[in-house]
Each structure stands twice: as structure tokens, then as C-alpha cells.
Amino acid sequence: MKKILERMPDALARLLVVFIGLAVAGAFVVIVLIPKPLKDVKIQWADAVKREQAKPVKYAGFHACAECHDKIYDKKKTGYHRDLSCETCHGPAKAHTEDPDKVKPVIPQERAFCPQCHAYNPSRPRGFPQINPVAHNPLKPCASCHNPHDPKPPTTPKECSACHGEIARTKAVSHHVQLECTVCHQAPQQHKISPRSVKPTKPQTREFCGKCHAKDAKDKLARNAPRIDLANHGEKYVCWQCHYPHSPEVE
Amino acid sequence: MTNEIFKSLSEILPQITGFIYPNEIEIHWGMLIVVYPYITGVVAGAFILASLVKVFNVKEVQPLYRLSLLTALSYLLVAPLPLLSHLGHPERSYEMFLTPQPSSAMAMFGFVYAWYLMAVLLLEIWFVYRTDLIAWAESESGPMKWIHKVLSLFSKDRSEGALAFDHKALKTITIVGIPSAFLLHGYVGFIFGSIKANPWWSSVLIPIVFLFSAIVSGVALVILLYMVITPLTGGKINMKCVDKAVDFLFYAVIVDFSLELVDFIHRVYQSEEEIKILSEMVMNKLFMSLVIIQVLLGMILPLGIISVTKIFKRRFSLNEDLRKMLYFISVLLIQFGIFATRWNVVIGGQMFSKSFRGLTTYKMEIGGIEGLLYALVLLVLPIVILTVLLKILPPWKEMKGEGNGKELTGEAPLGGMHAPEA
């Protein structure tokens, strides 16, 4: 050993001492100074398990609900909400299972609750039922139309106002109140299922509005409608490029 | 807390264009992450300049050798600080070494850094200075004597054999050091280039572009420091050395510029789905920092200036002061250009939405750990460390040796900054 050290260049020997010193110091820090729980994963796991076990149990699990509410349970089992646990909406119910009369789980009724999942958000998967909470039947509690234990896939809305509430309300106080939406728009059945890919038509010609508003219009509904001369009014523009048909201005 | 968030959001929201996802409003990799690749780039570049002397035997740049090593060290010491500050909990950083995670490129930084610091840079500096340290320790008194004695690891051997071993060791370390320097900064480029979800970063060219921009920034910074420090310490700038170093800088800038151009052409020709949002970002949000500062001021203008001094060589060779001024302006512009490059990569990569339909904006803070002031401190800190290193390990003998036309000895009074008692 001594011979090797003697034959080694002086500089190299000194560097070796430094590096070995550093390695020993590092090993000392790692092995001796750092307390074991900081390094040993098993001890950390055991501690974590103990910590978790000490927490009070709040949730009962849906099997507990099924024992008493079997009808609702069976109904939900086949519906679209089958993957949701009861306590997702009704909150932790362990206390309720222990004393059913005294502690009642919540029944969410405010309109803000369902939109947590069903408000329109472009990052949600396509086909997931989504609504605009402002325009979708304002003020009505969700449960008045949808049964949360067996929600139906978006049924065909009877009226356009189900989705286009703002336009419907605007039109309701305008001169066009008497006109059905379908007078001007043809909505294919598919529009109600995938509203963004299949769009309803819009009037594309001046003659369409002219059926009521041209000088020589004969439509019965248009008895009191303002008349214009199609030949020299508004040049080449389609009517709705200047007039908003859902709330046409008073002449 | 919530009010603060609302306040900062209300300032950013009007700046957003198009559609972005909610979690893209705030840019998380801010100013500190811009500073980090800039600093590591300087380290790698300065080391490559040093290796020109030792491996490629470019004798003209010998005066820059020790200065570039010390520059590399002082910047390397600061390199992990922006990361530690950005991540928080610096006291936990040692865990990176205790639980090595080879599948995480980020977790490997500790090893890349430690290798470069311990196995390359410190070793090389020690071997370079060993004989000088012994000489200083013998001739000095007071604390300096002891500092130098400890730094020399109490070695006293100045025999022929020892010097020959020093020389051999230096050559080996530098040869190992070049790929290590490439590894260090190539690694930083890899971190960005390997993020496949981000089309601004995801490119195999990024590590190479980073490497060459690193060489550019390191070489330019060492030239800049040499041109500033030498007159300050009463020396004369060795124009032969600066000319040669600027030569290398010139070629490095050309390679860097062409690589970035290749990357640009490649992106435009491929025209993948992100091209629209990227071109909108470049033309609006990054126009100033990318087109004006990085490309025009940081590359084309210095390239033009250096080219002019080369084309009209005869005319410029007569006027050293003019050449000095032009070089000085060029290397300064290159520094700003490379900093802007880092900015454009880091900030630009987070400015566009992953939906490719909108752009957010970066609101830099002034104070605070992620703020401008702290970033400035980190940028000045290496200079402070370098000043200390220059006092402890003065490179003047070499820096001024050829500039004054006579060989100064290490023990001679050292130009005002360091005057050991004789």
C-alpha cells in the first residue's frame, strides 16, 4: 500500500485524499446524520397508514344506502348516474346510517349544484350532456324536469327556448312575438341532438322578409307590418344584416 | 389570498387573445427559468473557450484561459440557485442524490451538475493553479498564505515529474471536459426539446441550438470580461488574442444562426397544426424579444459589425481603438441577444394555448422570489463571485503576459486588485 502511494504522483494522492474525504463525509451525513424516518419508505408508509386510520370515518358507501333505499338504488343502478356514488351528491352519510332519524343527508336543490358537472365547458368530452346555466330554463330547479336518480339522455327539447332562452325572451316582447321560430328557421331533427354540428337555417334572401314587408306583400299576418320597396331599399344586403329580427326596431 | 389572485387575474385577462384553457392563464416558468439556461450556457461556453487553448493548442487565446475557467466556475456556482429558488425547499435538494430517478431528466440534473463541478471544472482549475498556489503560499504571509496553502492541499512538489503529471492531467480533464460541457448544456436543451406536448420546444435540434448559443454566450462574455477587467487592473488589452477569440465567436454565431434558421425553415415548411398560433405569437407577443432583440440586434447586427472588421481588415488593423469599440459593442449585443433567446424559448413556450387557439401573456413581478429584482441579483452574483475568485486565484500573469510584451511573474504586484505583501 505504501509503495503504491509513493509511486503515485503527489498531486493525485492529495486529490484522492480529498475525494475519499468527501465520500466519507457524504456517507456519514447520509447514514448517520439523516434520521431514519426521512430515508426509509417503509417507516413512512407505516406512519401514513396510522395517520389515515386515526381519521374519523365519514362516508358509509353506497351498499349501506341500498339497505334501506333499495328502490332508489335499483333505479339508479340502470341509469346514467350509475357510476356516481349516492354520497357524491348527498354528502357523507355515515352519521345518517348510525342514527337515521336525527341526521339527514343533504338533498342538493340549488341550481348551482348540477352545473358543476353539466355546465358547458369545451374541455368536457363531446356528447356529455352540457347546458348553459344562464340560458337553460332560468330559475327552475334542475330536479323539476330531470330525475337525478335516473336522468334521461338529453331529450329533444319541445321548444327552441330550452336552449335559446335569451332569444326567446327578447322575441317575446318584440313585434315578432306572433312568429314561431320555424317561420324563419328550419331546424333539422339532428340539430336537437348535436346542436353544434348541425345548424338551423337562416333566411338567405331579401324576398323572404319581403313576404311580409314588401310593398305588395299579401301575407295575412303582415297586415300592419312596415312596408318597404325591395327594389331600392338596402341595396344588396340581406335584411338581417341591418335589422335584428328577434327584436326589430319600431319604425 | 383569493383577492390577490382575482387582482392579478383581472390584470392578465384583458391581455388574453382567443381561447385558452383555464390553467394556462398564468405562466409558471418565469424569469428564474429564463436565467437558468442563460447561466449554464455561459458556463459551457466559457469552458469550450478554455479548451481551445489546451486541446486545440490555439496559443493566441492563452490570456483568456484562466479567466474563462474562473468565469465558468463562478457561473456554475450560481447555476442551481434559480432552480432551487423556483422549486422552493432547497433543504430537500439532497434527496435527489439519495433517491436517484434515472427516468426523470429533471432529477438527473444533480448528477450532471455534480459531475461537471467536481470531476471537470474544480479539478482543472486546481491543476492549472497548483504550482502558482505553492509559490504564493511560500512568498505570502497572513490569511492569504493559509488560503493558498489549503487550496493547494498542502502540496509542495514542484519537480519536473510533478509538472509533467499536471500537464498530462490537464489534457485528460479537458478532453473529458468538452463532452461534459456539451452534456451540461445539451441537457438543458434536452429538458425543453423532450417535452413532446409543446411544439415550440419539442425538437431534436433544440439541444444542439442550445449548445451553440451557449458557446456564443460564453465566448462573448469572456471577451467582454477580458476587455473590461484588463484596463481596470492597469493592463493592456492583447488585440491578437481578442482578434482570435472574436474569430471563433464569429464562426460560432454563424453556426448558431444557421441552426436556428434551419429550425425555423423546418417548422414553416412542415406547417403542422400549431404553425398558425406560433406565427401569431412571434409576430405579436414575441416580436420585440425575438425579431428585434434576438435576431436583429443579437445576431445580424453583431455579425455585420464583425464581418465589416474582417472584410476591411487592412483598414481596421491600423486602428485598434475602433476595432476594440466595435468588438465591445458586438459582444455586448450578443449577450442581450442570447438572453432574449432564453426568454423566447422559456416564456414563448408557455404563451400559446395547447388548444392552439389563443395566447396568454407574461406578467413579470418586480419583487418577490420570482421577480425581476431577484433575477438581477442572480445575474450579478456570478460577477461578485468572479471578483472574489480573481482575488484568490489571480490570473493576471497569464492575462497580461503577452499584452505587456513581457512575462510577469505570479509574485509581482498585481495591478491594484491584488497586492500580496512581498
Query: Where do the structural domains in chain A lie, given as residue ranges?
Result: 62-122+130-155, 165-241
| Per-residue confidence band for B252, with pLDDT thresholds at 50, 70 and 90 | very high
- CA distance linking residue B356 with residue B344, whole number of Å: 18
Contact B123 A123 (CB under 8 A): no
User: Domain for residue B122, yes or no?
Assistant: yes
pLDDT at residue B382 above 60?
A: yes
pLDDT at B410: 37
User: Domain for residue B327, yes or no?
Assistant: no
Report, as an integer, the average pLDDT of A136-153.
83
CA angle A37, B91, B180 (to 5 degrees): 110
- Percent of chain B whose pLDDT exceeds 70: 94
pLDDT at A141: 86
pLDDT for B193-217, tens place per residue? 999 899 999 999 999 999 999 999 9
- Beta-carbon contacts of residue B338 (< 8 Å; ≥ 6 apart): B38, B41, B213, B216, B217, B220, B298
| Per-residue confidence band for B1, with pLDDT thresholds at 50, 70 and 90 | low
User: Domain for residue B45, yes or no?
Assistant: yes
User: How many contacts does A have with B, using Cβ atoms within 8 A?
Assistant: 33
pLDDT at residue B417 above 60?
A: no
pLDDT for A167-188, tens place per residue? 888 888 888 888 888 889 988 8
Cell output for A140: 327552475
The tally of domains found in chain B comes to 1
Chain A residue with CA closest to B167: the answer is A11
Sequence-separated contacts (24+) of A208-211 with Cβ below 8 Å = A208/A184, A208/A239, A209/A239, A209/A240, A209/A245
Instruction: Choose among B278, B275, B405, B292: nearest CA to B350.
Output: B278
- CA distance linking residue B220 with residue B275, whole number of Å: 33
pLDDT for B141-168, tens place per residue? 889 999 999 999 888 888 888 899 999 9
User: Domain for residue B310, yes or no?
Assistant: no
User: Domain for residue B157, yes or no?
Assistant: yes
If phi > 0 it is left, if psi is from -120 to 50 it is alpha, else beta; for residue B179 that is alpha
Please give the residue range of the domain that contains residue B163.
Answer: 29-250+369-401
Chain A residue with CA closest to B127: the answer is A11
pLDDT at residue B420 above 60?
A: no
CATH of the domain at B128: 1.20.1630
Contact B153 A30 (CB under 8 A): no
A8 touches chain B (CB under 8 A): no
A-chain residues within 8 Å CB-CB of B161?
A: 9
Instruction: Choose among B191, B28, B195: nearest CA to B107.
Output: B191
The alpha carbon torsion through B155, B160, B166, B167 (nearest 10 deg) reads 160
Our CA-based measurement puts residue B298 at a distance from the nearest CA of chain A, in whole angstroms, of: 40
Instruction: Choose among B49, B29, B47, B113: nearest CA to B78.
Output: B113
Candidates A14, A39, A123; nearest CB to B155: A14
User: Domain for residue B203, yes or no?
Assistant: yes
User: Domain for residue B382, yes or no?
Assistant: yes
A-chain residues within 8 Å CB-CB of B166?
A: 11
User: Domain for residue B103, yes or no?
Assistant: yes
Contact B162 A14 (CB under 8 A): no
Report, as an integer, the average pLDDT of B365-381.
93
Q: For the full predicted model, state whether its pTM sits above 0.80.
A: no
Candidates A18, A22, A30; nearest CB to B98: A30
- CA distance linking residue A226 with residue B184, whole number of Å: 78
The alpha carbon torsion through B171, B176, B179, B183 (nearest 10 deg) reads -140
- Percent of chain A whose pLDDT exceeds 70: 96
The alpha carbon torsion through B220, B222, B228, B233 (nearest 10 deg) reads -160
